[in-house]
A and B are shown apart, each in its own frame.
Chain A
Amino acid sequence: MRIGVVTFPGSLDDRDAARAVRRAGAEAVPLWHADHDLAGVDAVVVPGGFSYGDYLRAGAIASIAPIMREVVDSVARGMPVLGICNGFQILCEAGLLPGALVRNAGLHFVCRDQRLRVESASTAWTCDLTEGEELLVPLKSGEGRYVADAATLERLAGDGRIVFRYLDQNPNGAQADIAGISSADGRVVGLMPHPEHAIDPLTGPSADGLALFTSVLRAAASVA
């Protein structure tokens, strides 16, 4: 399986995302923000960082980059996409996921190892996890507070589209403790914490994050 990892000007975590993809057993394919094709990849990771300096709003300018037009088109055909941190912000700005991510309630940038609870194991990126399972992965963001209107929140909860919730203290004031959500078909997932930084106990707080990357391999195998 070939998984594309997008690099925008200002991306920071594309290398770790590519490493996680390789560790999971897939081929990591670098994709450039100005590219007009996805090089035939089977899935895409939109990684964290500060794309285009996060000028205007976090993820706003990246959401209309040439590569994102291709990603949006491929999502319509069922391609799995994972957005991490800035990638989650980009997917929301691109309209692939509902809601938005705004400044942390406490105004502080939060950088810590965060416990999460898996709320849905029926997405392309969480099928190797178990509902109720707890993960420990780094969180590092200043604009990580998930917001959506009441009807959207109700729909997300009712349809099982809340994928991850923060455990312990809510780090940023996210509504309903939401750390990650999915599209209606479960193929697109966005989350603020960084599973790609937690794939190896040598360099992260756990190896819990690797399961997201192995999940998409299994999801692809079950489709094929």
Chain B
Amino acid sequence: MPKPEILDPQGQAVAGALSRLGIAGVHDVRQGKHFELDVADDLDDDTLHRIAGDLLANPVIEDWVVTRVARDGVSS
């Protein structure tokens, strides 16, 4: 996700579209990215965080979280 202090014009455009649809109550929209990696069960969390921090996200402008989810969609 773009860091809170980074202007997100794409999110603002979505917020504008929502108000044009007549939807009230949405104060702000931030647009980010979501990656799904199919990994071996024994791939450790440190490696996943390195993948996220070194390549998938740019820490200068983006915050990121890693969530490990089982194939059936249950978090572990």
Contacts and interface: CB of A to CB of B under 8 A. Distances in A.
Interface of A is mostly: loop
A191 interface: no
Nearest to A64: B55
Interface stretch (A2-10, A12-20, A97-105, A128-136): A97-105
A93 B7 contact: no
Interface in B4-36: 5-7, 9-10, 13
Given A102-B6, A173-B7, A93 B58 contact: yes
Chain B, interface size category, equals 10 to 19
Contacts of B58: 57, 60, 93, 100
A149 B58 CA distance: 13
B7 A105 contact: yes
Contact of A100 (B5, B9, B13, B60): B60
Contacts of A107: 9-10, 13
A148 B56 contact: no
A147 interface: yes
B6 A147 contact: yes
A106 interface: yes
B9 A60 contact: no
A56 B56 contact: yes
Nearest to A93: B58
Interface of B: 2, 5-7, 9-10, 13, 55-56, 58, 60-61
Given A107-B9, A149-B5, 19 more contacts: A56-B55, A56-B56, A57-B58, A60-B55, A60-B58, A64-B55, A92-B60, A98-B60, A100-B58, A100-B61, A102-B61, A103-B9, A104-B9, A106-B9, A107-B10, A147-B61, A148-B60, A173-B7, A173-B9
Interface of A: 56-57, 60, 64, 92-93, 98-100, 102-107, 145, 147-149, 173
